[in-house]
Structure 1
Amino acid sequence: MATSTNLFEQIALDLQVHGVSIQSLDLQEPALLALSERLDILSQQDFHKAGIGRQEDHMKNEQVRRDKIHWLEASDPNEALFLTYMQDLKVYLNRRLFLGLFSYECHFAHYEPGAFYKKHLDAFKGEANRILSTVLYLNPDWQEGDGGELAIYDPNDSEQVLLIVPPSYGTLVTFLSDEFPHEVLPAKKARYSIAGWFRVNTSVAGNIDPPQ
């Protein structure tokens, strides 16, 4: 299994050539183990229904998505370990690809049986500061037929599926937020992941965006 530096380099190469990367973390990676430990501690009361949009545009729409989420915070040591890992990835990608990534935010996502997230983009060209999207899967017992796969579509033909990614434990998917439409297919059993976004700084005239 590759070290984190080798993994980061492979992600950078994939993004440079394809705009999307699918890699596997070392299953003994401390940040991954910390997430699993944290997930064991969280109760269902710690998750709430996900919405669509930011701030005043935020709304809940069960026809589009039916997952429940829990945002990661640096105040929790297990969550902080993963946030530090992704900070290291941010620094590496900025050095290699000059992306100007400024911050990272992420949440646990819980898909109950039957839950899904319809096809969408994480950002629209020229209208958002999300640059890279990431998904890390936390399902050690996932089997073919359990559902919940990530479908990634062709940027030039949103009806054409490019990739189907099983939500297997330790799989990390990284892709350009405004390029790749994607959806989560209906889960047939409980499915967990970390969904996250690297942002650039679009603060203007004292309006801090993204919030710190």
Structure 2
Amino acid sequence: MQTHSLPPSWNLAQIFNDLDQSGYALIDDAYPQDYVQALVAECTAHLNEFRNAAIQNGVVSQIRSDHILWLDSSLPVAEQHTQTLMALAEQLNRAFFLGIKEVEAHFACYNAGEFYALHRDNPQGKNGRMISCVFYLHEQWQADWGGELRLQDKQGEWQIIAPQPNRMTLFQSDLLHEVLLSKQQRLSITAWLRSDPQLW
């Protein structure tokens, strides 16, 4: 596993404690602004390539209406984020013995009126997703624009997490969660730290 560095502002002790106690953690002001701006530019430049995430193998899902673009080496700015998550995975493996081997990730766009209903990213341990990660890319967000992540933590309490710009949310992939209806275009990178290879 190749070694990459983590941003010095990330408080790993706090992140690990929050994940251990509640099953989720927040990292605000996750990246320097120049990198965030480059990431937003790369995302918006490719919006016409996003596909309807609700359509898989010709079947339309009723629980989501967002649009996605999987990340690969043709998106070099976003690939840096994936590499940072791999560095985080190395630390998570040391702390929690999760056996994470790779990161899968995509850009996500929720246009006005779009949502993702209640679900789990790894229901009943049926796949290798261990930790889910959402990083918010839009350059501004107001409280009445919706688009929040609603998450049931390890204690069974419901948490409402606002999609603040440059915020990263980490949570156990088996936790129940949803994306509430967005009233403005909401941009993010959704990623999963996996214990098994995934091809898409």
Task: Specify the TM-score bucket, using the shorter chain as the normaliser.
Answer: 0.7 to 0.9
Residue 45 of structure 1: how far off its partner (Å): 1.9
Partner of 1:166: 162
The 1-side partners of 2:51 and 2:35 are apart by 24
The 2-side partners of 1:190 and 1:126 are apart by 32
On the 8 A contact 2:22/2:155 being kept in 1, the answer is no
Partner of 1:60: 60
- SS at structure 1 position matched to 2:19: helix
On the 8 A contact 2:23/2:153 being kept in 1, the answer is no
The 1-side partners of 2:139 and 2:27 are apart by 16
The 2-side partners of 1:198 and 1:156 are apart by 22
Question: Is residue 35 from structure 1 mapped to residue 35 from structure 2 by the alignment?
Answer: no
Question: Is residue 51 from structure 1 mapped to residue 63 from structure 2 by the alignment?
Answer: no
Partner of 1:206: none
The 1-side partners of 2:9 and 2:199 are apart by 29
On the 8 A contact 1:49/1:69 being kept in 2, the answer is yes
Partner of 1:211: 199
Candidates 15, 20, 23, aligned match of 2:19: 15
Partner of 1:184: 179
The one-letter code of the counterpart of 2:199 is: P
Counting matched residue pairs gives 195
On the 8 A contact 1:149/1:165 being kept in 2, the answer is yes
On the 8 A contact 1:37/1:78 being kept in 2, the answer is no
1:137-176 C-alpha deviation (Å, 9 max, x unpaired): 112210010111111125575xxx5211111111111111
The 2-side partners of 1:31 and 1:60 are apart by 35
1:58-88 C-alpha deviation (Å, 9 max, x unpaired): 8432x21000001111233212211111111
User: CA separation of 1:103/1:29 partners in 2, compared to 1, >3 Å: closer, same or farther?
Assistant: farther
Unaligned runs of 5+ in 2: 1-5
Question: Is residue 77 from structure 1 mapped to residue 81 from structure 2 by the alignment?
Answer: no
- SS at structure 2 position matched to 1:125: helix
The 1-side partners of 2:185 and 2:11 are apart by 28
Q: TM-score, normalised by structure 1?
A: 0.82
On the 8 A contact 1:32/1:82 being kept in 2, the answer is no
The one-letter code of the counterpart of 1:49 is: N
Residue 20 of structure 1: how far off its partner (Å): 0.8
Percent sequence identity over aligned pairs: 32
- SS at structure 1 position matched to 2:169: strand
User: CA separation of 1:95/1:149 partners in 2, compared to 1, >3 Å: closer, same or farther?
Assistant: same
On the 8 A contact 1:49/1:60 being kept in 2, the answer is no
Unaligned runs of 5+ in 1: 202-208
- SS at structure 2 position matched to 1:145: helix
On the 8 A contact 2:107/2:190 being kept in 1, the answer is yes
